[in-house]
Amino acid sequence: MQRTETNQDLKPLVSILNNHADREPKCKAQYETQRKSQYGAKYEAKHEAHCEAKYETDHEAQYETQTRQTCPVCGRKNLVRTAQICGKLMHFRIMCECEEKEQAAEEELQKQHQKAKRIAEIKSLSLLGKRYENAAFENSEIGMNPSFDTALNHCKKYCENFKQMLEKGQGIYIYGGFGVGKTHLTACIANELMKNFVPVLFTNLFEISKAVKSTFGKASFGKASTSVSSETEQSLIEKFSKINLLIFDDLGKEIFVKNESDTWLQNLLFDLINRRYNELKSTIFSSNYSLKELVEKRGLDEAAADRIAEMTKNFVFKISGKSRR
Ligand SMILES: Nc1ncnc2c1ncn2[C@@H]1O[C@H](COP(=O)(O)OP(=O)(O)O)[C@@H](O)[C@H]1O
Ligand SMILES: [Mg+2]
Ligand SMILES: [Zn+2]
């Protein structure tokens, strides 16, 4: 049984992947709908500038209203504004300053809540294991292992400049012995970016290959369907290559023996990496081996190693030292 740092048991990778694929637009639409139902007329009122609103008079409320007649704080009377919006006569209650403040505070709270919810969702889709969910640059121990500190400083910079990194498809390659903090460091990157709403997928080749294998024999025959079972190998690989930031934990754990059965894994890895390379997507690798060792000791294809080297150029870090386990 393969040990894995990812949180794979929680959700199957295939469904996670679909979530990654269509979350962005869905989120925004949902948010708008929710705001509309929440604020109702207030929301419309805020957007009245979009319609050619023709104001009539500000006048005291004369029709039945459930709102208070005077503000208990400033004592202002309940004013109503009537406007013709898109041909429809609409009434808006005019808020006094205290109410406006109250609403602004409520909106701010709502915004914070939405942000927290979005980050929680991004985190739940990251598949980062529980052990690493609180890993952060700020709470990493430093000053004991210079090679770790150097890598950490560069990874921090990488996060600070993530937009530019992503534009170039810049990745990172971290290698070194067991327990030196490789996974910890990639988790710090993931957590830092997710805090800033960047979706991240933390996984490994074993899990990816399992997900791809689960699609075998399930060609969709051209039927339009979004169900997981109709996923084909190609569509799944395609989705993996669209994710902006993919973290490959422990590359080289699996041996790439060059026989019949393992050609598949070798080809899968190359296909994935090559697509991500072509699409300028950022990929972060951690490994117990240098790239050279991956080729010489683990049987990785030179072509795949070359691609990885290209993708992680100037961001290859070796962490030496004792295991922390
Ligand atoms: N600089 C650090 N500060 C605090 N905890 C760390 C640090 N580096 C590693 N750890 C912890 O030590 C353990 C081993 O690190 P890990 O990153 O899993 O090693 P590996 O290099 O094998 O991936 C983990 O529990 C990790 O959270
Ligand atoms: Mg590790
Ligand atoms: Zn008031």
Ligand 1 and 182: CB distance under 6 A: yes
71: CA distance to ligand 3 center in Å? 5
pLDDT of residue 94: 77
179: CA distance to ligand 1 center in Å? 6
| Paired tokens of 169 | 């498809």
Pairing of strands 172-176, 316-319: parallel
Give whole-number Cα distances, 218 to 76, 99, 205, 231, in Å: 67, 58, 21, 7
Looking at the CA of 142, name the nearest ligand. 1
Q: Which atom of ligand 1 is nearest to the CA of 177?
A: 21
Q: Choose between 189 and 46: higher pLDDT.
A: 189
Ligand 1 and 131: CB distance under 6 A: yes
280: CA distance to ligand 2 center in Å? 25
% of the chain surpassing 70 pLDDT: 76
Give whole-number Cα distances, 286 to 39, 181, 217, 248, 269, in Å: 47, 10, 32, 6, 15
Q: Would you place residue 2 in the very low, low, confident or very high pLDDT band (cuts 50, 70, 90)? A: very low
Architecture of domain 127-319: 3-Layer(aba) Sandwich (3.40)
Residue 59 has pLDDT above 80, yes or no: no
Contact 63, 91 (CB under 8 A): yes
Cα–Cα dist 63/80, whole Å: 9
pLDDT of residue 93: 74
Residue 99 has pLDDT above 80, yes or no: yes
- Find where tokens 């927290």 sit: 116
Ligand 1 and 298: CB distance under 6 A: no
pLDDT of residue 246: 97
